Amino acid sequence: MDMRSKARTLSGPVSDPAKLPRWNYDGSSTGQAAGEDSEACSPQVIFRDPFRRGNHHLLVMCDAYTPAGDPIPTNKRHAAANIFGQIEAEEPLFGIEQEYTLLWKDSNRPLGWPLGGYPGPQGPYYCGIGADKAFGREIVDAHYNACLYAGVNISGINAEVMPGQWEFQIGPSPGISAADELWVARYILERITEMAGVVLSLDPKPIPGDWNGASAHTNFSTKAMREEEGGYELIKKAIHKLQLRHADHIAAYGEGNERRLTGGHETAEINTFSWGVADRGASIRVGRKTEKEGRGYFEDRRPSSNMDPYVVTSMIAHTTLLWEQP
């Protein structure tokens, strides 16, 4: 994960991203271009600034283009927006569960881990409370409050299975908004960890061995899946399409995911597709309520914590709604 930011002053308040100016940056210093061919930031979404606060301070989510106006290779938002533009009538909703690990800057060990040793085995840390079970809550709560202030649709937080690991949830949010909000929530979190002198890790398996990895489970539904009779049958058809493109999705679901998707620690083996009701060891999980009511949503448990949400959300939408089996 490599996010960059810079600040500028405007002559007056702005509430529409289309009225914000484009702004050049040095792509040669970010590994994105040669020095003689600078990139431009194009404002896309506005949030309230939880750091400077006040009525007129903004956080602006931008994507990047060449001087000729073409999206640069790392701009995944542009392609995602094209896909979501084709399926607006389906009213897709996403909920993303972002897991992450907090590390001490000097030792690169998770918070709560003794130097030169290991904490007690997993079990008491998930949703745990107490100084011997929950590590970094001040950071987590500051992030939660900052996202709420900013207008990010953050729906919850919890401590995770491995000590020093946490999760926040984004959504349900429509279309590309879920990905915008996740990137901005990641930015806010890394700014807060910067102030705390702690390192944010989105590595999908930060500690090898008998410890849970970190994921970004992605929940998805269309209006028909959520509301119509026969929605569960639409979900099963979508899952079948995902099975047929399993290898393509795995390739796009984050770096280092093979270290996490081992078939253990609540994961499916990376090369084997599976789905089930209430099965946290499957590639795709369907909730009991969805099965019982015959409508609802499904959870793709394959994406890693460092996935690009523009890639993952648009790929799920494309495969289930636009892709036709050859």
> pLDDT tens, position by position, for the chain (326 residues)?
789 999 999 999 999 999 999 888 877 788 777 666 677 889 999 999 999 999 899 999 999 998 888 999 999 999 999 999 999 999 999 999 999 999 999 999 999 999 889 999 999 999 999 999 999 999 999 999 999 999 999 999 999 999 999 999 999 999 999 999 999 999 999 999 999 999 999 999 999 999 999 999 999 999 999 999 999 999 999 999 999 999 999 999 999 999 999 999 999 999 999 999 999 999 999 999 999 999 999 999 999 999 999 999 999 999 999 999 87
How many C-beta atoms lie closer than 10 Å to residue 75's C-beta? 19
Taking Cα atoms as reference points, which of 185, 159, 221 lies closest to residue 309? 185
Q: Residue 87 CB: number of other CB atoms within 10 A?
A: 17
Place of tokens 């994921």: 215
Degrees, nearest 5: CA angle 85-86-89: 90
CA distances from 57 to 150, 182, 267 (A): 10, 20, 42
Tokens encoding 39: 């990139």
Integer CA distances (angstroms), 192 to 51, 141, 199, in order? 9, 10, 10
DSSP-based three-state secondary structure for 252? helix
Q: How far apart are CA 224 and CA 315, in angstroms?
A: 19
**Whole-prediction pTM:** 0.96
Tokens standing for residue 54: 């006040």
